[in-house]
Amino acid sequence: MAPVIINLVAAQSDAGKTTVIEKLLPELKARGIRVAALKGNLRHRDPDLPGKDSWRYAQAGAEVAGFTTPEGFLLHGITAHNRSDDFVATLLRDLDLVLVEGHKKSGNPKIEIVRSAINPKPLLPAGTVAIFSDLKTMDSELPLVDLNNPKAQADFIVGRFLPERGNSMMDEMNLTHFDHSGRPRMVDVSAKEQSLREAYACGEISMAAETLAMVKAGRMAKGDVLAVAQVAAIMAVKETGRLIPMAHPLGISGVEVDFKTVQTPEPKIEIGVRVKLTGQTGVEMEALTGVSLAALTIYDMCKAVDKNMVIRNIRLMEKKGGRSGHYRREQS
């Protein structure tokens, strides 16, 4: 099978494409991924000497390094084979991935490097599948991955282009919530750096039109349904570490709860919970738990008049921060 080819591009030079590839290579190699790294669009066939880009790629773990020219490719590799022609005959066939620096007009999938000090707005050439950036947010539907986090970058590349390799690695590795004896454990996050974390989750509870009208009019016997549900969501966020066995108790810095009543095509209340924290682990579970308890509270407040209510579609919409970077659900 031919290797996957990905071009790392930027709107202009000095965005750090070489450094990104250089730091990515050890992460990919540690996962058993065989990678070639090429310097793109070199105009002269001069050998790449120690200290130059392709030399740096080879030192960082590329099985094959080199550069492209208008006429073709020049490659070199490090091999334990006694005969170099044996190596050449097998190396390209056995590679999993080729990372090419530059060449925005290629037909391959592209990852754009966006560095705030150089090019704060993405160029987004045709075929761009993700953005690696030091910006925390960006007006784009493409996945946004931390420019300074090669592990998160490798996670994205393996998950997107080599999912079978990612699955096989998970089979070989211990699951993070189990110790070497196979017993449950809480993951140790003490070595992680503190950073701003944020998560937004949504859900909904459908009900009869008459029930929704009573909620909006404040005519439920138990009181103001949405006010009580809002308090329940905030309390649930704060107590998530006690409710989810492997979740960490967290010092939450902010919770926002929003409700939207919908009449058609189906009467329902849509629930949103946004949670913020500066810490060492994410707040996805806190946001999801807040939505769940808000929905359950609405059910409890209204069940005397409508036992057919349905809670559903509880999902994470967006997360920011941490090793995996920015995630946004493409469909609501």
* Residues acting as catalytic residues: 300
Q: Which residues of 111-127 are buried (b: 16+ CB within 10 A; e: fewer)?
A: bbbbbeeebeebeeeeb
Q: Rounded to an integer, what distance in angstroms lies between the CA atom of residue 114 and that of residue 122?
A: 6
Dihedral over alpha carbons 99, 101, 104, 106 (to 10 degrees): -40
Are 68 and 40 in contact by the 8 Å Cβ rule? The answer is yes
Are 303 and 221 in contact by the 8 Å Cβ rule? The answer is no
Q: At 187, phi and psi to the nearest 5? A: -65, 135
Distances (CA, A) of 224 to 16, 216, 298: 55, 9, 10
DSSP run (H or E) holding 75 = strand 72-77
Residue 274's closest CA among 177, 202, 195? 202
Question: Got the DSSP string for 226-250?
Answer: HHHHHHHHHHHHHHHHHHSTTPPP-
